Amino acid sequence: MSARIGRAFDVARRERRVAFLPFLTSGFPDLTESDRLAGALCEEGADLLELGMPFSDPVADGPTIQRASESALRAGATLSYALGQARSLRSKHETPIVLMSYFNPILHYGSERFVRDASDAGVDGVILVDLPPEEEPEFWAGLRADGIATIALIAPTTEPGRLPRLVETAGGFLYVVARLGVTGRGGGDPGIESMLERCRSLSPLPRCLGFGIDPETPLERYRGLA
């Protein structure tokens, strides 16, 4: 299934453009509208769709995604709903689907059950904000065994000695965090170009920037690096 991610980046590369990877909090602003928005993003050309699992304590997220998570939870969004949403999208679209979550909802759901159900739903990749690859190794291995890409988060503060270990087990693409702090705050870290260069030297996987990307971000600055 993670092969869909590779094909999406291949298309963007052939067309000489950046890949568009929108993020949508699953269940926001309500379940019906969330399904409509997710479908519209796939239909209108998203190269890959990130579905964010709403969580009551999203410590890595800024106020915008925090409020979106609160709205989604009030509307009844659960991990089961998010997986069902992914399954419905997969039945209609070939757009790669990446589930972005904190580990607590998965732990509550059951990690083995999550791997099985995510695979059945056609999820292509998983990003876990608060679970490093050294922890829960059987869970990470189970995802990879079922063809689900385990996407590494790489921060500006990632130490050089740790970076090779992160990219070694990563799949799909490398999610490079453009700035320290929570989501929704603009401005990339001044050292992000050198981090992108190191990632390129260590792995053939595409490099994608997140956190700190806003309308004022000079994307041309990163051309050829991400």
Residues that are catalytic: 50, 61
What are the structure tokens assigned to 135, written together?
Answer: 């922890």
What are the structure tokens assigned to 53, written together?
Answer: 């699992």
Q: How far apart (Å, rounded) are the C-alpha atoms in residues 69 and 165?
A: 32
Helix (H) or strand (E) segment spanning residue 159: none
Q: How far apart (Å, rounded) are the C-alpha atoms in residues 135 and 128?
A: 11
Amino acid present at 148: I
Q: Which of 76, 122, 132 is nearest to 99 (CA)?
A: 122
What one-character DSSP code corresponds to residue 218? -
Query: How far is the CA of 82 from the CAs of 25, 97, 106, 119, in angstroms?
Result: 9, 11, 12, 13
